[in-house]
Chains A and B, each alone.
Chain A
Amino acid sequence: MTHTPMSDMTPLTPEEEARLDRMRAALGEVSAPAGLRARIDAERAHTRPARTRRRLALGGGLATACAAIVVALVLVLPAGSGGPTVVEAATLTQLPATMPAPHSDPDHPGRLQESNGGLRYPYWEDRFHWRPAGAREDRLGGHRATTVYYEGHHGERLGYTIVDSGPLDLPPGARAVRRGATTFWVFRRADAPVVAWLRHGHQCVLSGDATIPAGQLIALAGSEY
């Protein structure tokens, strides 16, 4: 640095002042993108005070190995101990089906007969070649949680869980992606991408084999809009 303190503090020239005025004017033109605002709004909607939050912090291989234990804990914890989380809902997408696959609904084209909270599951076989392969029903923090499993051409499997609740807590680090007016939250659980979003205020979660990319999950979830 060759400047001396005295030379640095000499008054700015009118030309320099004019450039700085333009700098301030240019900066004043910049506002936060609408997508960022939407994600922050969604963050606020999902956020609850920490003292009422219950977290199950498992990750990677440990989560896979202990999935059964986790599910047991999830399903028996009383509702009063705090709200369930999206991670817990995502656990359901990896469980075996306990009920037969729902049929397409002739009265509602593009939908299955299975529903939860008034939301019908999508029928994806014709458009996306994902056929319904089974279903199950659980209780998650006192809320009814239903899952429909879909199977792809090569035996890939994914689960679509709807929790009859409001927004559930998201894990730290979840990333927001906008499609139209809908915000999808993406994170990984046990190496598999998970996509979470709200349908008419109900929490929906879509996840499956680790080989199914997040983009495909978002495309499927977004096909309903």
Chain B
Amino acid sequence: VHTSPAYAPQEVPDYARTLDPARLGDHVDRLYRAAWALCGSREDAEDLVQETYARVLAKPRLLRNDDDLGYLLRVLRNTFASQLRTASRRPRTAPLPEDVDPVDPSGATRPAEALEAAEVFALIHALPPDFRDALVAVDVAGLSYREASKLLGAKEATITSRLHRARRQVAAGMESAPTGVLERKAR
């Protein structure tokens, strides 16, 4: 993926294409889930996805393949890392007024499932970063092992190992979830 604004036109390979903004909306749900798992907060996830789209839409983007989702996830992760680095020293441009509620804050279709999803996201967020990234890429965003390998810059065998450990930890967390919500469907 080429994102450098200095990328000279004569260097653009024949198979490069411009990211189509009209298609970006197809990936909002997956990006939102990935963002929630990374941030651990629904509200921060919304901000992260919005910022990701703002960055992507700020200028034309050249891609070398059809993996729009992989590209968006890369920007999402970079934006998340950037936000972590600067959060303590950069004031927000304009805090939301206290009397304004976000629209459709649940983001889920049914209350019970929303609660269950929130607990699952909390478990994923609590994973060690390498494990969490692998699980977010494959189980949350739906990338293949190969795509996750490219996204995370690790060998497929490493992704496989991290993913397996991440799944085991999440499964253990679901077993001991205090509210019992996660076990409701098993009864």
Residues of A at the B interface (CB closer than 8 Å) are 3, 5, 8-9, 12, 15-20, 22-27, 29-41, 43-44, 47, 49-51, 171-179, 186-188, 193, 213-215, 218-219
Name the residue in B21, B107, B161 with the highest tally of chain A Cβ atoms < 10 Å from its Cβ.
Answer: B107
**Out of B96, B108, B165, which one reaches A29, CB within 8 Å?**
B108
Determine whether B84 belongs to the interface, using a CB cutoff of 8 Å to chain A. no
Is the CB–CB distance between B108 and A8 below 8 Å? no
* Minimum Cβ distance to chain A for residue B181 (Å): 9
**Out of B21, B49, B58, B94, which one reaches A32, CB within 8 Å?**
B49
**Out of B49, B139, B174, which one reaches A40, CB within 8 Å?**
B49
| Nearest 4 Cβ contacts at the A-B interface | A35-B103, A215-B97, A173-B93, A16-B171
Within 8 A of A (CB), among B13-33: 21, 24-25, 28-29, 31-33
**Out of B21, B102, B186, which one reaches A35, CB within 8 Å?**
B102
Is the CB–CB distance between A16 and B117 below 8 Å? no
Interface string of B1-45 (1 = CB under 8 A from A): 000010000000000000001001100110111001000000000
Determine whether B60 belongs to the interface, using a CB cutoff of 8 Å to chain A. yes
Name the residue in A30, A39, A219 with the highest tally of chain B Cβ atoms < 10 Å from its Cβ.
Answer: A30
A50 to B167 CA separation, bound complex (whole angstroms): 42
Is the CB–CB distance between A33 and B104 below 8 Å? yes
Known: A22-B186, A175-B93, A177-B97; 16 extra A-B contacts, CB below 8 A, are A8-B168, A19-B174, A20-B167, A23-B171, A29-B116, A30-B114, A31-B107, A33-B46, A34-B103, A35-B104, A40-B49, A41-B25, A43-B50, A43-B53, A44-B21, A178-B102
**Out of B49, B99, B121, B167, which one reaches A36, CB within 8 Å?**
B49
Query: Can you show 5 pairs from A to B with CB atoms below 8 A apart?
Result: A20-B171, A30-B29, A33-B107, A35-B104, A35-B105
Find chain B residues with CB under 8 A from A50 CB: 5, 58-60
Give chain A's interface secondary structure class: helix
* Given A22-B182, A174-B94, CB of A12 within 8 Å of CB of B171: yes
Determine whether B67 belongs to the interface, using a CB cutoff of 8 Å to chain A. no
A46 to B105 CA separation, bound complex (whole angstroms): 24
Find chain B residues with CB under 8 A from A35 CB: 46, 102-105
Determine whether B66 belongs to the interface, using a CB cutoff of 8 Å to chain A. no
Find chain B residues with CB under 8 A from A219 CB: 99
* Minimum Cβ distance to chain A for residue B110 (Å): 7
A166 to B84 CA separation, bound complex (whole angstroms): 35
Find chain A residues with CB under 8 A from B46 CB: 33, 35-36
Name the residue in B98, B114, B174 with the highest tally of chain A Cβ atoms < 10 Å from its Cβ.
Answer: B174
Is the CB–CB distance between A32 and B29 below 8 Å? yes
Is the CB–CB distance between B96 and A186 below 8 Å? yes
Determine whether B137 belongs to the interface, using a CB cutoff of 8 Å to chain A. no
Is the CB–CB distance between A22 and B174 below 8 Å? yes
* Minimum Cβ distance to chain B for residue A49 (Å): 6
A39 to B49 CA separation, bound complex (whole angstroms): 10
* Minimum Cβ distance to chain B for residue A174 (Å): 7
Find chain A residues with CB under 8 A from B54 CB: 43, 47, 172
Is the CB–CB distance between A174 and B93 below 8 Å? yes
Name the residue in A24, A27, A37, A193 with the highest tally of chain B Cβ atoms < 10 Å from its Cβ.
Answer: A27
Find chain A residues with CB under 8 A from B139 CB: 20, 23-24, 27
Find chain A residues with CB under 8 A from B99 CB: 215, 219
A176 to B59 CA separation, bound complex (whole angstroms): 20
Interface string of B74-103 (1 = CB under 8 A from A): 000000000000000000111111111011
Determine whether B120 belongs to the interface, using a CB cutoff of 8 Å to chain A. yes
Is the CB–CB distance between B171 and A47 below 8 Å? no
A193 to B95 CA separation, bound complex (whole angstroms): 10
Is the CB–CB distance between A31 and B117 below 8 Å? no
* Minimum Cβ distance to chain B for residue A3 (Å): 7
A26 to B50 CA separation, bound complex (whole angstroms): 23
